[in-house]
Structure 1
C-alpha cells in the first residue's frame, strides 16, 4: 500500500472536518486513508473490567466505522482502513507518522485571539510527527469552497526545500497558485527590499520548471511572520510552513511563529518537517 494519509478520529466535529480535508487530499493525490483512534483505556489488563472493555472497544470501533462510511459517501472509490490504538491519541498519530504521507488532525478548544484555541493532542503531533501534518483549524471552509491559492511561508533558511516542494505540488493538484510570503517584521529600505525579493525568488526558483502550470506571487511583507501568515490565510486554501523538529518537553516546541499560525489561521495549516 502507498504511504497513507492518517486521520485522527475522536468523535468531535473538528475531527470530521479534518476528515473532509484528508479525503479530498487523498483523492487528488491517489493515496489511501487510515482512520486512527487512540486511547489508553483500550489497553487490556487495565482498570476497566473485561466486559466493559469489550463494550468500549466496540463503541470506539463503531465510531471509526461511522467515519469511514461518511468518507465513502463523499468519495466512493477511496481506499480507507480503520485502526484502534491502545495508547494515547498523540502517541498513536506520531507513531503512525513513520509510515504516513500526511497526518490530518482537527483543532479543539475555546477562547479569543489571546486564548488557547489549539488542542494539546494537535500540538503534540504537529511538533513531533515525522511527516507533514495538516491541522484543520476551526474557521476552515470545506475543501470545495477553498480559494484557489496556497500560501507558502518562506524564511530563507536552509532546509526549507521540502516545504516549498510540498506547497507547489499541492497547488498543482488543486489548479491553484502559490503566494510565496517572506515577512521582514519592520520597515526596510528600497535596497533591502530588492535583496529580500531576490532571495525569495531564489528560494522558489527551482519549482517553476517542475510545476510550470503553477503561478507564483512573491510577497515581501513588513509585517511580522505571524501577522503576515494569519492575514494571508483569509484568502487561502492552505498555509504551508516548515517545522524544524524539536525535542523540548516544555514550552512552545513548534516555535513562536508556527504556534501563533496554528492558533489563529483562518484555513488549514500544513507543517512540513525541515532538515
Structure 2
C-alpha cells in the first residue's frame, strides 16, 4: 500500500497554502492525499450526530473545515485520491502519529492563536523536530499566494550535511528535482578566512585548502546517490561562509530547500540544529526537513 502525503489543516491561510502544495506534491508523485485536522474538544466531548445546532460549535467547524479542504483539493487535482480525518488529540501528538504512516507530512508555517504572529508556529516546529517522515513547512510566496510552487522552472536547493546518514536527504532532494523537472543545487559552506583582505600565513592557507577539499568531499558523497539520474541537472555551490546564510542566499528563487534533521537532545527533548531552525524561520520558500538516521538505525 502506498503511503499518503498528509496535510495538516487548521483553517489558517498558511495551512491552505500548505494544502495546495500537498495536492500538487501528491499529484506529482502519484500518491494519495490525507487531510487531517486535530481538535482537543472531541477528546473530551465526543462526536455528536444530528443538526448543527445540537452539536458543539467546534465540531461543526472541524467538519466544515475538512469538507471544504477536501473540496479544494479535488478542485486542484481530480486525479488525486483524497481522504480526511478529524482526530481527537493535541495537534502535535496527532501529526506525529500520522507521520509514522506517511510518505510526507505538509504543514503551514503559522497557525491560529497567540503563536500566529511568531516566525514559525509551535506546532510546525515541534512536529518538524520529532517526525519520523520528511516534513515540509510551506513558507514564502507572500501572504496572498494562492498557488503552490510546483511545478516550476526554479530549483531545488540541497543543504549538504557532514554525516554518512545524509543520504536520505540527498535522495529526497533528487526525487523532488526530478518530479519538478528543475535543477538541483547542492550547497555546502566552509569556513573561509575571517578577513579576506588580510594576508595570512602558509599554515592558514593549508587549513583553508583542507576546508575546501573536505567540503567538496561532502558534496561528492551526497551527489553520489543520484548517479544515473541523467534527467536531473546538478549544480554545485561550495563557498566560504556560514551554512544558513549561504542557503538563504541560494534559496531566493528556489521551489524548495531540503535539509537533514540534525536533531539534538536538549532540556525539553529533541531539538533541531541551528541550520534547520534558520531555514524554518527565515527561508523564502517551502522547507523540507528530512530525518537522518543516527548510528544504530534509530531516527
Q: Give your verdict on TM over 0.5.
A: yes
Gaps of 5+ in 2: 194-206, 294-299
Please give the per-residue CA displacement for 1:231-273, whole angstroms capped at 9, x wherever unaligned: 1110211000010345545388111111111000000000000
Match of 1:6 in 2: 6
Q: For the Cα contact (< 8 Å) 1:5–1:26, is it kept in 2?
A: yes
- Runs of 4+, deviation exceeding 6 Å: none
Rounded Cα–Cα distance in structure 2 between residues aligned with 1:195 and 1:244: 19
> Does structure 1 residue 234 correspond to structure 2 residue 252?
yes
Aligned pair partner of 1:149 in 142, 155, 174: 155
- Aligned-pair distance for 1:202? 2.8
- Aligned-pair CA distance for 1:137: 1.1
1:182 and 2:185 are equivalent in the alignment = no
- The corresponding residue for 1:40 is 40
What is the aligned partner in structure 2 of residue 103 from structure 1?
105
Task: Give the whole-Å Cα distance in 2 for the aligned partners of 1:190 and 1:109.
Answer: 46
Q: Give the corresponding residue for 1:214.
A: 232
Count of residue pairs brought into register by the alignment: 268
Per the TM alignment, residue 185 of structure 1 is displaced from its structure 2 partner at its CA by 3.8
> Does the 8 Å CA contact 1:197/1:218 hold for their aligned counterparts?
no
CA distance in 1, matches of 2:69, 2:45: 28
| TM-score normalized with structure 1 length | 0.89
Secondary structure of the 1:159 match is: helix
**Residues of 2 paired with 1:252 and 1:3: CA distance?**
25
Q: What is the correspondence of 1:81-92 to structure 2 with a 5 Å cutoff?
A: 81-92=83-94
**Could you tell me which residue of structure 1 aligns to residue 120 of structure 2?**
118
Q: TM-score, normalised by structure 2?
A: 0.82
For the aligned residues, what is the CA RMSD? 2.5
Q: Deviations over 1:88-115 (max 9, x none)?
A: 11111111001000000001179xxxx9
Match of 1:259 among 277, 280, 299: 277
Q: CA-to-partner distance for each residue in 1:69-127, whole Å, 9 max, x for gaps?
A: 111111012111110010111111111001000000001179xxxx9410000001101
Output the CA distance in 2 between the equivalents of 1:240 and 1:215.
Answer: 16
Aligned equivalents of 1:37, 1:183: Cα separation in 2: 39
**Counterpart position of 1:67:** 69
